[in-house]
Amino acid sequence: MQPASRMNQIPPYLFLELDKLVAKQRQLGRDVISLGIGDPDRPTIPVAVDALKLAVDNPDTHRYPNYLGSEAFRQSISHWYHQRFGVDLDPASEVIGLIGSKEGIAHLIWAMAGPGDIVLVPDPAYPVYHTQSILAGAQSYPLPLTAENQFLPDLNAIPEDIWNRAKILWLNYPNNPTGAVATREFYQEAVRLCLLHDVLLASDGAYLDIGFDGYRAPSLLEIPGAKEIAIEFYSLSKPFNMTGWRIAAAVGNPQAIGLLGTLKSNLDSGPFTAIQDAARATLESNPWPFIQSMNQLYQDRRDLAVQALNNMGIAISPPRSTFYLWFQAPFGMTSQEATNYFVHHADVVLTPGEAYGKHGEGWLRISLTIDTLRLQEGLDRMARALRDHPPA
C-alpha cells in the first residue's frame, strides 16, 4: 500500500507519540506521571451532562444535524459573545458550529490556502496550523515567539513579499504552549496589518475563559473593524472540561464563516444535535461559578508548580492564563534530552518544546491538568532526579 505523498510531509502527531511512550513505560511496570497532555482532568460541567441526557431521549436529535449548527446553538454563542466580550454577532451569518475547534482550524486552512500560498504560523504553536497548511499544499511561514517579545510575534518583521502571498495569519491568545496573553494594542496592530494586506486574521481562542488573579482575556473581535478581516474560534473543550464532546464554534467575518460552511457541508454533517443542545444549555446557565472554580484550581496548581520549579533553579514567572507552564530545560539540555532525562530518572513525562516548532527548542511544557497530589509528586520526583542524578 502506498500512501499519498502528502502523508510523508507531516510528522507523527506529537501527543499520539507521548501516549505511546507512557504506555510503553507503564508496560515495563513504571508508575509514570504524565504532565504532557493538556486535557482537563475534572468532570464536565454538570449542566451539560444533565442536558445531554434529556436531549438524547428526544428523537429529533437523532437525525442529521443542521450542517452549520442549530439555530439555538448559534444564538447561544452569539449571546455568550455579547455578555462576555460585548461583541455582537449575527447567529445566521457570523457563527458556525464545529466538531471541536481543531476541526474548524484544519478546515479553515483548506478553505483559504493551497499551492503557492503562505500561512503565517507562530512558532512555537499548536501543531495543527503548520501541519494542515502543509497537507493543503501551502507553505507555512514561521513567526518566532520569544521571551524577549513576551511571546508575541513581531508582525512588522514580516517581509512585504511574504505578506503579499499570505492568506491567513494565525494568533492564539491566551497562548498554548507559552501561557502568554495578548494586549489590545497588539490586536489593533494585527487587525491594521491584515486589513492592509487583505489577509484573514484567525484567532484561536481555546483558552479565552481561563484566567488567573482576576485576568479575563479579551476577544480579538472587540477590536473595532476586526470583523472585516477576522474570525475567532471559541471552544467549550477547555473551560467546561468537554474535550471529549467535540463542540466549538467559529465566529466573525461572514465571508470566512461562509467559506468554512461550504467546505464543511461537503465533508461532515455538523456536531451531534444533542451535544449542541447540551452546549447551549451550558452557555445559557450562568456557568461563571464553574469557570471560576476551575480557574481557582488551576491557579493553585500553577502556584505550587511555579514554586517547585523555582526551587529547582528553573526560572519561571506565573502565567495569567492557560493551564501550561513553559520554561527552559535545566542544565542547558535540549528539549528532547530533558524529556528523556525526566522519563528515565523521574518517571515523569513532559512535552518537549521543540514539538511546537523550531523556536520551542530548549523549552519544556508542563500541563496542570492532573490531580494536584500527582502533580506535586511529579514535581518532587523531578527535584529528586536533579539532585541525585544531575545531568552531565
Residues 143-182 that bind ligand PLP (CB under 6 A): 172, 176
Residues 21-40 that bind ligand PLP (CB under 6 A): 38
Sign (positive or negative) of CA dihedral 311, 313, 317, 319: negative
Query: Buried (b) or exposed (e) across 137-166, using 16+ Cβ within 10 A?
Result: ebbbbbbbbeeeeebbbebeebeeeebebb
Task: Out of 132, 203, 243, 335, name the contact with ligand PLP by CB under 6 A.
Answer: 243
Q: Which is nearer to ligand PLP, 299 or 322 (CB)?
A: 322
Q: Does 100 bind ligand PLP (CB under 6 A)?
A: yes
The contact mask relative to ligand PLP for 312-351 (x = CB under 6 A, - = no) is ----------------------------------------
Angle between helices 101-112 and 128-135 (to 10 degrees): 40
Count the site residues for ligand PLP by CB under 6 A: 14
Q: Does 367 bind ligand PLP (CB under 6 A)?
A: no
Contact by Cβ (8 Å): 380, 306: no
- Per-residue three-class SS string for 223-257: CCCHHHCEEEEEECCCCCCCCCCCCEEEEECHHHH
Q: Does 101 bind ligand PLP (CB under 6 A)?
A: yes
State the CB neighbour count (10 A cutoff) for residue 274. 20
Q: Which is nearer to ligand PLP, 208 or 382 (CB)?
A: 208
The nearest distance, CB 125 to ligand PLP, in angstroms, is 8
Residues 177-216 that bind ligand PLP (CB under 6 A): 204, 206
Task: Out of 76, 235, 241, 369, name the contact with ligand PLP by CB under 6 A.
Answer: 235
Q: Does 237 bind ligand PLP (CB under 6 A)?
A: yes
How far is residue 6 from each of residues 67, 129, 133, measured CA to CA in Å? 28, 16, 11
Give the residue carrying C-alpha cell 459573545: 81
Q: Which is nearer to ligand PLP, 70 or 176 (CB)?
A: 176
C-alpha cell of 55? 436531549
Output Rg (C-alpha) for the chain, integer angstroms. 21
Q: Does 126 bind ligand PLP (CB under 6 A)?
A: yes
Q: Does 44 bind ligand PLP (CB under 6 A)?
A: no
Residues 255-284 that bind ligand PLP (CB under 6 A): none
Q: Which is nearer to ligand PLP, 101 or 339 (CB)?
A: 101
**How far is 378 from 342, CA to CA, in rounded Å?**
10
Q: Which is nearer to ligand PLP, 152 or 206 (CB)?
A: 206
Contact by Cβ (8 Å): 171, 203: yes
**How far is 381 from 224, CA to CA, in rounded Å?**
49
Q: Which is nearer to ligand PLP, 201 or 386 (CB)?
A: 201
The nearest distance, CB 33 to ligand PLP, in angstroms, is 21
Note the residues at the interface with ligand PLP (CB under 6 A). 38, 100-102, 126, 172, 176, 204, 206, 235, 237-238, 243, 248
